[in-house]
């Protein structure tokens, strides 16, 4: 499941993997780098919000709140996309 343009959540029989999109500067290619492994999707999404907040470098409260709202919106959009895909089956 893509979350915005920068994150992806995948699962297998053992875990949920949260990855972040990176760019190999030498080869100019994109790849997904795991940033965490979780036992359930709720833990992965909570971690994602905290990770995104830390990326703001906590410059001020408005920046932090805005980033949290952006991530929550991206999560909801990803969830809605999954639901639409499921209803098309």
What is the total residue count of the chain?
89
Q: Which domain holds residue 44?
A: 2-87
Q: Are strands 16-24 and 7-11 parallel, antiparallel or unpaired?
A: antiparallel
CB distance 32 to 22 below 8 Å: yes
What is the pLDDT at residue 21? 96
Between residues 53 and 89, which one has the greater pLDDT?
53
pLDDT digits (tens, 9 = 90+) for 10-38: 999 999 999 999 999 999 999 999 999 99
What is the pLDDT at residue 87? 58
Structural domain tally of the chain? 1
State residue 72 phi and psi, 5-degree precision: -60, -40
How far is residue 11 CA from its own chain's centroid? 13
What is the pLDDT at residue 48? 92
pLDDT of 89 strictly over 70: no
pLDDT digits (tens, 9 = 90+) for 47-74: 998 888 888 777 788 888 888 888 889 8
């Amino acid at each position: 499941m893509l979350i915005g343009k920068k994150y992806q959540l995948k699962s297998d029989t053992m875990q949920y993997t949260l990855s972040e999109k990176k760019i190999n500067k030498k080869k100019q290619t994109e790849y997904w780098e795991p940033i965490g492994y979780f036992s359930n999707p709720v833990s992965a999404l909570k971690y994602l919000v905290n990770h995104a907040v830390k990326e703001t470098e906590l410059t001020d409260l408005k920046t932090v709140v805005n980033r949290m709202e952006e991530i929550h919106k991206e999560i909801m959009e990803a969830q809605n996309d999954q639901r639409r895909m499921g209803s098309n089956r």
